[in-house]
């Protein structure tokens, strides 16, 4: 309970922030020496480098059957050489089961305090997490720091806070006192939040901590033991979170294996075996739609997915076309379009885009957009750092294949020279132009730096296509530019019905890709892109059941 | 908004009651003339009788293709002769779609007020609902009044209150004000609760209003249009609720068809067609496991089910064996065991049951229990009214088939003479004795007045069997009698893990079958008997999605 006192105020602030949804952040997002210490960056780099070509011994490994790991840096194109303990399926399940029996008896307050404590411990290693993220995902330094460190920790805290609040929302005990004629019927009633069972969290290759920690912390706060199965090419960042969780549990006299890291080797993929195991009751997944749909279809599991989607921009009219196009150029370039919220389809009416100086013709809009993108990636002080590297060879090949598919190429994808990492796998955004009738080209997700300009009859067609694709194929974001209140209302109607988060008229330092903890829901659960939402009430409540017991009052 | 002022206090009281979970009831449960008026009962009977052999014209029927109905009273064994409007599938879906577009734009406060208003209107017809319930379900008068009237209305109000609170839990608008160096990034953010789509509610034959109104009102408060598909043999009670909802909407200038009654005819069953229709997004179902599992398996639907289960009594030791057996005798007799919460398996250790006067041998416990049951149904002032009638011929036949299955018959099932309805289909509880090894006999639900006494090695085996069957086959209730604190804790552990609501040591006027609104969750979602719970947060939150939109602040 001492730990609870230490973190109570943080928890209360987080609960309030969840309700208010204005700005709140517990962990500073800037990798500033003033905040994190003069040597924090260098120390983090050193810690990262000293892990290379080593077995990762900080993780619980007493029952390991071997060590494996095959990560490779998209920047250096070299193997990281880090190996992680490998466990048998039986060991993972048995350890989770045994640890879960103890964890479920820990009070909500103590669970919350331990989980916040683990985040504070991780925060001391944010720079190490950042370098680990860069060299697995290809993210630029700033994004790697922010997304995998403070932003991920904030989303974890958001889940802890929502869980703490929900678990406190039903009384532990109450006297039920029912008038019944001359007497009162009196019952003591009690309720327990019963955890569902082992929570499997399957990570992705591009956001190994940001997309996984909400599920990990949601599973833990509700009393479930968690098995973290990272993407085989992006293990190190989340291994650091798991290590700190394990150390936190150990320091409190609890089993380390309340959370376990379960890595895949190419020789032995384990996601399906784990997911189908009868003791695994909850699954969090970020990744492709085929595997996500398979997971959602396993009977008797509670499954939270973030899958693929087709994100849209609707360009109707704007107060400042240059700023709008500059904002969009940044959005499609950031981490080379490898964000699940990055725009793919930009719908522009054939007649052009309205501005205060009159309508700008379609071709001019397209060309000015291409120029803005080119200007960004050709700027040596911005380009390499904003674009980062391409995480996988498959994404790199998809760019080539899409370029060759026959559409009009507005801007070809080229390699970007990264002065620090000459070997980096890089690619600037490919921009293609399509007619609205070529739906087969633009109706599926083309993951990576690929942008389709879709020429539409008018904005009504743009809205129809954006909402139809969101409903049919999913979408996690939609950006819209309009100065017409009626058009705006039509877009709100269509896209909210399609369960798609909307951003209007972004011109400055906020981008359609960004979803802030304690404010923006990430995913809505309202279209095929995701059946879950960070962090709505269901993201917590589906992980446990309220069970009551009662007895006549003495 | 005038209506909201009228009902605001009721809503606030209901919200508080949902949190407190102590006793609360908005609608008086006693059919007392002092509360409901001197002539209310006679007026209700008269209203019911005047409906017989008539078309039910109070329901919206302008687009009906015909009229049909095949209900029959389990008391009089006569057809009711009430016919209801029949609509084509297209009409039902189109009307729901059109009405839904208007309903979703009605504010949460106005929706809540309209729904409470409809319950107040129904409360004027509770006696009519009671007679309609008696003569479709076979319930006794008192249960028919309480369960279908005030208790159902309370559960509906509970859902309205939970919905109103949830829909108010995310701000409609907030200023997000993020410090970013010298400036602040400022965004106006907005959220909408977007209803998922048409909500289909499929009713059951035994509790046509109590089991359906939570889904109906949960669907409506969250902005979805609702199609109510009652069991073909139990339409009239819920038709009265639908009529009053339609009249309430009409009086407010809204489309009646925000809620529609869709009846089946034996020639044209429509549940599957409705359930599989792409515009139906939410399904509430009470009924058999086969159909429930089929519904849960339809991709892309949000499905709430209450299916079958095997409810247990664990008899270990008690302060007062006579009172315990008397309480159990009432529980198995009430509405002839046709409650989803009625006990089926009574686990008694071979060595007997502990009491203050020493251990009472197994055979004596069994015989005293049988005597208590017999004493109840042979009491002419209690038996016919507590037992009511058997709703369906299938249940009646199941009693005969089970009696003939070869197990030791402790108490045969006999017909009960009902002085008021000599033709009534009645059956007293059949009590059989089994060894714990004869699991194939007692591990499935035998719906109706059928009780298995299972002789176990000891209470540990009783607990193991009760929890195992709950986990594998589902359970909605478990009663336990023990004076040993360790045994009690073991039962709590096992049965809460099995997601089963527990009642300890019931001796007096509270029965294991009873779940009170605003206090007991009905179902937990934690075992195969039900994936839903009246009314936990998910019962509401799964019916809509939060979708945000945002724009830079001016």
Nearest chain B residue to A523 by CA distance is B547
- Whose CA is closest to A55, among A204, A255, A225, A243? A243
Stretch A67-81: mean pLDDT:
97
With the C-alpha atoms ordered B55, B59, B64, B69, is the resulting torsion angle positive or negative?
A: negative
In three-state secondary structure terms, A459 is helix
Q: Please measure the distance between the N-terminal and C-terminal CA atoms of chain B and give it in whole angstroms.
A: 32
Stretch B360-372: mean pLDDT:
98
User: How far is the C-alpha of A136 from the C-alpha of A51, rounded, in Å?
Assistant: 14
Where does residue B442 rank: exposed (0-12), middle (13-18), buried (19+ CB within 10 A)?
buried
pLDDT score of A181? 86
pLDDT at B411 over 90: yes
Q: What angle do CA A153, A126, A238 make, to 5 degrees?
A: 65
Stretch A32-48: mean pLDDT:
97
Outline which parts of chain A fall under CATH 3.40.605.10. 2-308+539-552
Across-strand partners of B436? none
Where does residue A404 rank: exposed (0-12), middle (13-18), buried (19+ CB within 10 A)?
exposed
pLDDT at A189 over 90: yes
User: How far is the C-alpha of A88 from the C-alpha of A68, rounded, in Å?
Assistant: 13
Of residues B510, B549, B552, nearest to A496 (C-beta): B549
User: How far is the C-alpha of A387 from the C-alpha of B187, rounded, in Å?
Assistant: 26
pLDDT score of B158? 98
CB contact under 8 A, B505 and A552: yes
In three-state secondary structure terms, A22 is coil
Q: In the structure, what pLDDT confidence band is assigned to residue B489 with cuts at 50, 70 and 90?
A: very high
CB-based contact A293:A339 (threshold 8 Å) = no
- Class of the domain covering B312-504: alpha beta
Q: Is B535 on the interface with A (CB under 8 A)?
A: no
pLDDT score of A554? 83
CB contact under 8 A, A496 and B547: yes
Cβ neighbour number for residue B246 with a 10 Å cutoff: 22
CA dihedral B376, B377, B378, B379 (to 10 degrees): 50
Stretch A247-265: mean pLDDT:
96
Q: In the structure, what pLDDT confidence band is assigned to residue A243 with cuts at 50, 70 and 90?
A: very high
DSSP A527: B
pLDDT at A92 over 90: yes
Q: In the structure, what pLDDT confidence band is assigned to residue B554 with cuts at 50, 70 and 90?
A: confident
Distance from CA of A525 to the nearest CA of B (A): 7
pLDDT score of B523? 96
pTM of the model: 0.97
Q: What pLDDT digit, counting tens, does each position of A415-447 carry?
A: 999 999 999 999 999 999 999 999 999 999 999
- Interface list for A 380-409 with B (CB within 8 A): none
User: How far is the C-alpha of B242 from the C-alpha of B122, rounded, in Å?
Assistant: 9
pLDDT score of A454? 98
Outline which parts of chain B fall under CATH 3.40.605.10. 2-307
pLDDT score of B134? 98
CB-based contact A12:A108 (threshold 8 Å) = no
Using a CB-CB distance cutoff of 8 angstroms, which residues of chain B are in contact with residue A547? 495-496, 499-502, 521, 524, 526
Across-strand partners of B305? B285
**Looking at the predicted complex, does its ipTM rise above 0.95?**
yes
DSSP A223: T
User: How far is the C-alpha of A182 from the C-alpha of B32, rounded, in Å?
Assistant: 15
DSSP B187: E
pLDDT score of A265? 78
pLDDT at B118 over 80: yes
Q: In the structure, what pLDDT confidence band is assigned to residue B384 with cuts at 50, 70 and 90?
A: very high
- Whose CA is closest to A313, among A453, A487, A471? A453
- DSSP symbols for A53-108: TSB-TTS--TT-SEEE---B-TTT-SB---BEEE--HHHHHHHHHHHHHHHTTS-H
Side-chain-side CA neighbours of B545 within 13 Å: the count stands at: 27
Stretch A85-96: mean pLDDT:
97
- Interface list for A 187-226 with B (CB within 8 A): 187, 189, 191-192, 194, 196
CB contact under 8 A, B549 and A495: yes
Starting from the edge strand earliest in sequence, which strands make up the sheet with B226-229, in order? B259-261, B226-229, B198-202, B280-286, B302-306
Q: What pLDDT digit, counting tens, does each position of A513-530 carry?
A: 999 999 999 999 999 999
Distance from CA of B37 to the nearest CA of A (A): 18
pLDDT at B175 over 80: yes
Distance from CA of A49 to the nearest CA of B (A): 31
pLDDT at B267 over 90: no
User: How far is the C-alpha of A364 from the C-alpha of A352, rounded, in Å?
Assistant: 8
CB contact under 8 A, B516 and A176: yes
Average pLDDT, chain A: 97
Q: Is A35 on the interface with B (CB under 8 A)?
A: no
pLDDT at B187 over 90: yes
pLDDT score of A431? 98
In three-state secondary structure terms, B364 is helix
- DSSP symbols for B130-148: HHHHHHHH---HHHHHHII
pLDDT score of B93? 98
Nearest chain A residue to B512 by CA distance is A550
pLDDT at B488 over 90: yes
pLDDT score of A87? 96
Q: Is A294 on the interface with B (CB under 8 A)?
A: no
Stretch A173-193: mean pLDDT:
96
Q: What pLDDT digit, counting tens, does each position of A201-227 carry?
A: 999 999 999 999 999 999 999 999 999
- Helical segments of A300-353, H only: 321-333
Q: Is the backbone peptide bond immediately before A357 cis, with ω within 30 degrees of 0?
A: no
Of residues B497, B506, B541, nearest to A537 (C-beta): B541
Where does residue B356 rank: exposed (0-12), middle (13-18), buried (19+ CB within 10 A)?
exposed
Q: What value does the CA radius of gyration of chain A take, rounded to a whole number of Å?
A: 25
Dihedral pair phi/psi, residue A214, rounded to 5°: -55, -45
- A:B CB pairs within 8 Å: 177
Q: Which CATH architecture has domain A2-308+539-552?
A: 3-Layer(aba) Sandwich (3.40)
User: How far is the C-alpha of B499 from the C-alpha of B476, rounded, in Å?
Assistant: 8
Using a CB-CB distance cutoff of 8 angstroms, which residues of chain B are in contact with residue A541? 536-538, 541
Q: Is B504 on the interface with A (CB under 8 A)?
A: yes
Q: How far is CA A86 from CA A67, A75, A245, A266, B323, in A?
A: 5, 27, 18, 12, 58
- Can you say how many angstroms the Cα of residue B362 is from the centroid of all Cα atoms in its chain? 35
Q: With pLDDT > 90 as the criterion, what percentage of chain A qualifies? A: 97
Residue with tokens 């008694």: B348
CB contact under 8 A, A516 and B549: no
Stretch B327-353: mean pLDDT:
98
Q: What angle do CA A233, A236, A242 make, to 5 degrees?
A: 125
Stretch A155-175: mean pLDDT:
97
pLDDT at A1 over 90: no
Where does residue B30 rank: exposed (0-12), middle (13-18), buried (19+ CB within 10 A)?
middle
Cβ neighbour number for residue B439 with a 10 Å cutoff: 14
- Can you say how many angstroms the Cα of residue B346 is from the centroid of all Cα atoms in its chain? 23
- Class of the domain covering B2-307: alpha beta
- Can you say how many angstroms the Cα of residue A139 is from the centroid of all Cα atoms in its chain? 14
Q: What value does the CA radius of gyration of chain B take, rounded to a whole number of Å?
A: 25
Stretch B458-465: mean pLDDT:
98
Where does residue A38 rank: exposed (0-12), middle (13-18), buried (19+ CB within 10 A)?
exposed
User: How far is the C-alpha of A31 from the C-alpha of A41, rounded, in Å?
Assistant: 8
- Spell out the residues 6+ positions from residue B83 whose beta carbon is closer than 8 angstroms to its own: B54, B55, B56, B67, B68, B69
Q: Is A509 on the interface with B (CB under 8 A)?
A: yes
pLDDT at B1 over 90: no
pLDDT score of B319? 98
Residue with tokens 């743009």: A462
- Whose CA is closest to A337, among A146, A511, A527, A155? A511
DSSP A11: H
pLDDT at B529 over 90: yes
In three-state secondary structure terms, A304 is strand
Residue with tokens 């017999």: B374
pLDDT score of A530? 96
Q: With pLDDT > 70 as the criterion, what percentage of chain A qualifies? A: 100
Q: What pLDDT digit, counting tens, does each position of A370-399 carry?
A: 999 999 999 999 999 999 999 999 999 999
pLDDT score of B268? 80
pLDDT at A267 over 80: no
- Whose CA is closest to A84, among A231, A290, A248, A210? A231
pLDDT at B501 over 90: yes
Q: In the structure, what pLDDT confidence band is assigned to residue A464 with cuts at 50, 70 and 90?
A: very high
| Strand B408-411 with B259-261, pairing | unpaired
- Can you say how many angstroms the Cα of residue A122 is from the centroid of all Cα atoms in its chain? 18
pLDDT at A466 over 80: yes
- Whose CA is closest to A126, among A45, A216, A19? A45
């Amino acid at each position: 309970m001492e730990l609870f006192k230490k973190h109570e105020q943080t928890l209360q602030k987080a609960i309030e922030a969840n309700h208010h949804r204005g700005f709140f952040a517990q962990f500073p997002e800037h990798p500033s020496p003033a905040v994190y210490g003069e040597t924090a960056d260098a120390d983090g780099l050193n810690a990262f480098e000293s892990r290379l070509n080593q077995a990762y011994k900080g993780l619980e490994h007493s029952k390991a059957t071997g060590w494996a790991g095959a990560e490779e840096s998209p920047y250096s194109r070299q193997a990281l050489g880090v190996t992680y303990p490998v466990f048998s399926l039986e060991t993972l399940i048995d350890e989770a089961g045994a640890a879960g029996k103890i964890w479920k008896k820990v009070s909500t307050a103590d669970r919350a305090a331990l989980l916040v404590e683990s985040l504070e411990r991780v925060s001391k290693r944010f720079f190490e997490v950042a370098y680990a993220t860069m060299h697995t995902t290809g993210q630029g330094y700033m994004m790697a720091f922010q997304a995998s460190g403070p932003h991920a920790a904030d989303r974890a805290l958001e889940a802890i806070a929502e869980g703490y609040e929900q678990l406190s929302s039903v009384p532990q005990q109450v006297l039920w006192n029912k008038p019944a004629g001359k007497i009162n019927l009196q019952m003591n009633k009690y309720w327990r939040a019963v955890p569902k069972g082992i929570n499997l969290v399957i990570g992705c290759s591009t956001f190994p901590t940001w997309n996984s920690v909400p599920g990990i912390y949601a599973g833990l706060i509700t009393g479930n033991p968690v098995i973290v199965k990272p993407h085989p090419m992006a293990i190190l960042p989340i291994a650091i979170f798991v290590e700190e969780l394990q150390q936190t549990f150990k320091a409190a006299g609890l089993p380390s294996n309340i959370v376990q890291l379960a890595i895949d080797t190419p020789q032995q993929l384990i996601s399906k075996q784990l997911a189908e195991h009868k003791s695994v009751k909850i699954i969090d997944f970020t990744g492709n739609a085929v595997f996500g749909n398979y997971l959602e279809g396993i009977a008797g599991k509670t499954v939270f997915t973030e899958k693929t989607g087709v994100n849209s921009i609707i360009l109707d009219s704007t107060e400042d076309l240059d700023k709008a196009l500059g904002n969009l150029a940044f959005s499609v370039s950031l981490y080379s379009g490898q964000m699940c919220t990055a725009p793919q389809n930009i719908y522009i009416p054939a007649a052009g885009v309205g501005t205060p100086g009159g309508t700008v013709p379609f071709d001019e809009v397209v060309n000015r957009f291409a120029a803005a993108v080119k200007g960004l990636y050709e700027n040596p002080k911005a380009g390499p750092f904003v674009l980062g590297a391409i995480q996988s060879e498959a994404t790199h090949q998809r760019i080539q294949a899409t370029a060759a598919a026959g559409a009009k190429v507005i801007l070809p994808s080229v390699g970007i020279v990264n002065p620090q990492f000459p070997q980096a796998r890089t690619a600037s955004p490919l921009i293609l132009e399509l007619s609205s009738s070529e739906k087969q080209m633009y109706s599926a997700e083309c993951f990576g730096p690929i942008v389709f300009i879709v020429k539409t009859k008018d904005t009504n067609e743009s809205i129809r296509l954006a909402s139809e694709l969101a409903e049919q194929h999913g979408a996690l974001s939609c950006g819209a530019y309009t100065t017409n209140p009626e058009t705006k209302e039509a877009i709100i109607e269509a896209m909210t019905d399609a369960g798609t988060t909307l951003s209007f008229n972004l011109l400055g330092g906020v981008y359609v890709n960004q979803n802030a903890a304690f404010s923006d829901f990430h995913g809505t659960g309202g279209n095929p892109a995701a059946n879950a939402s960070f962090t709505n009430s269901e993201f917590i409540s589906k992980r446990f059941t309220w069970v009551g017991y009662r007895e006549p009052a003495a």
